[in-house]
Amino acid sequence: MIYKGLLRLSFALTGGLLFAWVLCWAAYKQGLFYDADLYGFELALLIVAAVAAIAAIAVRRALPWWALAPLGLAAAYGCAWLAGPASVKGTADSLLRWCAYGAWLALAVLFAARRGRRNAGHAALHAAGLYFVWGGLAGWYGWIRYPDIVYRSSDAALSMTGARLAGFLQYPNACGAVAAFFVLALWQRLDSPGRAARAFAAISLVPALTALLLTESRGAMLALAAAGLVSLLAAYRRDRRGYGLAAAGLAALGAAIAARSAFGAMEAGTPGDGAWTLAAAVAAYAVAALLLRPPEAKRSSSIGARLRRPLTTIWGGAAVFAVCTALAYLLLASGGGAGGRAEGNLETAGARTLYYKDALRMFADRPLFGAGGEAWRMQVGLYQSGPYIGNEVHSGYLEVLIDTGALGFAALLVMLGGFAILLWRRPGARHVWGPAAVLALHAGVDFDWSYAYIWLLLLFWLALHLSLPPHEPAPARPLAPLRAGGASKTARIALLRLAVPALVLLATAMVAAAPAGRYKSAADAYEAAQTAGGDAAKLALLREAQRANPPWNRPRLESAALVPAAERAVLLSAGLRYEPNSPTVHYALGMAYADEGEVGKAETHLKEALRLARFDRESQNAVLARFANLAQQLKDEGDDEGARQAGLAGIGFFERYKALYARQYAGKTNPWSGTALFVSAKVNAAKCAMMAGRREEAASWLREALRDGDEDWRKEAQALLDSIP
C-alpha cells in the first residue's frame, strides 16, 4: 500500500513538472505562434496521446467525450480542405493544431482524474503563471534579454509612453490577456481555505496586475473588468464579496503605483529602478490583503475583526474598490500610462471595424465550409475596403468563421457552450468561469487564439476543473473488467461505447503524427537553408523542405531566386496548385515571365497579383518599373513591337492603379495628386507611354511628377520631358 501511494505521488509530481515545463516552454517560444515551432511539439504530443489512449483502453479507464471537443474543429478544417481551401498548407497546419489541442486536453483530463494529480496540475499552472509574469517584468526591468519583449512606438495611438510590455508573446495585447487571466486566478485564491494558497496569491497578485498595466492593453483591461464581475459572483460567497472588492481595489492601487514608477523609470532610461517600487507595493499589499481578510466565524468580537468588518461588508468593500480604482486611474492618467491611453487615441480600435466588415464579406462568399486555414492572410488583399495593413483579422471568432464557415463556427460554439454547461453542473468549479471568460472575451477583439500557448493554457485550466465529477469530488471509477463468458451483450456494448473516445484519440494521433513529422523535417531543412554556405547548398536544403512539405510555398519562392529563368516559371506554377489565389506566387511568376521577355504571360499573372493585393503600393510601383524596364530592354534588342506591347501593358497597370484611388477617395482628398507617394509610378508610366508612342500622356504624367516629386525625381522627369519631340 505504501509503495502504491509513493508511485501515485511520483506520477503526480512528474506529470505536474511536465505540464509546467510545457506551458513555460510554449510561452518562451513566442507563445507557439509560428507553425514551424509547433510541428515537433505536435508530433511529441500525438505520440504521448496515442500511448495514453492505449493505456486507458488496457486498464479500462473511460475518457469522457467532451475531452475530444477540439477534434470537432479539426474535422471542420478537414471539410474546408476537401472543399478547396485558399491555402492547403494553412489548412493542414490548422488541422494539425486542433488535433494537438485535442490530444493536450485528453492528456490533461486523464492526468487530472485523481485529486492528488489535480493539485499537482494547479501547482503547475501557477508555476507557469509566475514564469510568464516575472519573465515579462524581468525583460521590462532589463534583467534579461529577449527579442521584442518590450514593444516600442512613438505613435501615441499605440503607446502613451513609447514602451509597452509585450512579454514572451512579443505582442502587448495578447500578453495583457494572459496576465489578466492569472490576475483573476490569483484574486480568487485570496479567499482560499489554505493559508499557503492565500499567501501565494497575496504575494503574486500585484506583479501580475502590474504586468497587465504595463501592456497598456485596453481590451485586456475591459475583459478583466467583465470577467472580474463574473468571478465575484461565481467564486466569492455572498458574505465574502465585500472582501473580494476591497482586495481587488487595493491590488489595483498597488499595481498602479508600481506601473507608474516603471513607466517613469523606462522614460528616464533606467528601467531597473522601477523594481524597487514594485517590491514595496508587493510587500504592502500582501500584508494588507491577509490582514483584511475577515475570519470564517461571522460573530468574531476580536479587535481585528471589528476593524475589518466595516471595510469588508458589501458596501464597505465597494467603497474601498471605488476609491482605490479612482486613485489608480488618476495615477496612470497623470503619468501617461494605461490610464492616458484609456482617455482617447481609439483609432486602432476603430480601424478594426474595417477588418470585421471585410471578414464578414469574406464569410458571405464561402459560408458553409469557409476558405480554410490562413484565409484572412491569403485573401485580405482581395477583400479589404481600404489601404490598411492587417495581417490578422483581430478576432478569434471571426477567424474561425472565415476559415471553417458556419460548420466550424458551430463546432466552436458547441465546444465552448458545452464546457460552460459542464462547469455549471459542477458547483465546486464555478470559480473557473472568470479566468476562462477573460481569454474568451479578449479573443473576440484580437488574435489571441493564433497563439497555441493561449489554447493550451485555457484547455489545461478547464481540464483541471471539468475532471471533477458533477456532484462529488471523488475521482471517476475505472470501468469494471470483463469476466470471461460472464458479461452480457449489453455490458459489452456499454464497455465498447465507453472505450470509443480513447479509440478515436488513438486513431487521430496515429493519422496526424505522420504529417507532423514530415512538416517538422521540412521546417528543419528550411531553417538550415537560412545559414547554408553557398547557393548550391541552400538550394538543396530548400528543395528538401519542398519535398517534405509540397504545399509550403516559401521554400519554393526562395528556390526560384536561385534557379535559371527557364526553370523559374515551372517551379512557381506548381505553387498555384496549393494556393491558387496567392498574390505572392502570382507576383513572382509574373516577374519570372518578364525576365524571359514573355509580355503576355507576365501581364496576366501580375494583373492577377495586383487584383488580389490591389492596395499593395510597393507591388504596384514595382510592376510599373518592371514593365518600363522590359519595354526599354525589348527596344534595345530591336523588338519594337514587343516594346510597344510592354509599354501598353504598363499603361494599363498605371490606369487601373489610378482608377483604384479615384474610386477609394471619391468625394475626399485623393493622395494621388499633391503628394510624393505616386511619383515613381507616374515617371515609370511615362516611360511606358513613350515606348508605346503615346507622347501626350507621357508628358502629362511627367509634369505631375515635376510638381509632386523630390529633387531626384524632378531631374529624371525633366530629362524625360525634354526628350519628347
Q: How far from the centroid of its chain's Cα atoms is residue 27's Cα?
A: 12
User: Do the beta carbons of residue 418 and residue 69 sit within 8 Å?
Assistant: yes
Residue 436 lies in a domain: no
Residue 565 lies in a domain: yes
| Other CB atoms within 10 Å distance of the CB of residue 310 | 13
- pLDDT at residue 351, rounded to an integer: 72
Q: Across-strand partners of 150?
A: 165
User: Do the beta carbons of residue 61 and residue 113 sit within 8 Å?
Assistant: yes
- pLDDT at residue 237, rounded to an integer: 81
Residue 504 lies in a domain: no
Domain boundary among 281, 311, 345: 345
Residue 399 lies in a domain: no
| Strand pairing category for 163-165 and 150-152 | antiparallel
Measured CA distances, 347 to 155, 158, 175, 683 (Å): 11, 9, 21, 34
- pLDDT at residue 388, rounded to an integer: 82
Give the chain's radius of gyration (CA, Å): 30
Query: What's the CA gap between 624 and 691, in Å, rounded?
Result: 13
Residue 135 lies in a domain: yes
- pLDDT at residue 432, rounded to an integer: 86
Measured CA distances, 150 to 158, 161, 452 (Å): 13, 12, 21
Residue 512 lies in a domain: no
- pLDDT at residue 290, rounded to an integer: 87
Residue type, 345: N
Residue 681 lies in a domain: yes
Query: What's the CA gap between 121 and 14, in Å, rounded?
Result: 10
Copy the grid coordinates of residue 400.
Answer: 474561425
Tally of structural domains, the chain: 2
| Other CB atoms within 10 Å distance of the CB of residue 173 | 23
Torsion sign over Cα 541, 543, 545, 547: negative
Report which secondary-structure segment, H or E, holds 307.
helix 303-312
Query: What's the CA gap between 585 and 577, in Å, rounded?
Result: 11
Ramachandran area for residue 674 (φ above 0: left; ψ -120 to 50: alpha; else beta) = left
3-class DSSP state for residue 445? coil
Residue 45 lies in a domain: no
User: Do the beta carbons of residue 438 and residue 180 sit within 8 Å?
Assistant: yes
- pLDDT at residue 297, rounded to an integer: 52
3-class DSSP state for residue 614? coil
- pLDDT at residue 431, rounded to an integer: 78
Q: Across-strand partners of 355?
A: none
pLDDT averaged over consecutive 10-residue blocks of the chain (725 residues)? Answer: 78 93 97 94 95 87 90 96 96 97 96 90 96 97 95 69 91 96 94 89 96 95 94 83 92 96 93 95 93 67 60 86 94 69 54 89 96 94 86 93 97 95 80 91 94 97 83 45 54 67 91 94 95 92 95 95 89 94 95 92 95 93 94 91 93 94 90 88 92 90 87 87 83
| Other CB atoms within 10 Å distance of the CB of residue 537 | 13
Domain boundary among 313, 345, 377: 345
For residue 608, give its domain range.
550-723
Query: What's the CA gap between 668 and 42, in Å, rounded?
Result: 51
Q: Annotate 370-409 with DSSP letters as a single string.
A: -S-TTHHHHHHHHH-SSS---SS-S-HHHHHHHHHHHHHH
Residue carrying the nine cell digits 489548412: 91
Q: How far from the centroid of its chain's Cα atoms is residue 90's Cα?
A: 14
- pLDDT at residue 312, rounded to an integer: 75
Torsion sign over Cα 406, 411, 416, 421: positive
Contacting residues for 491 by C-beta, under 8 A, at least 6 apart: 482
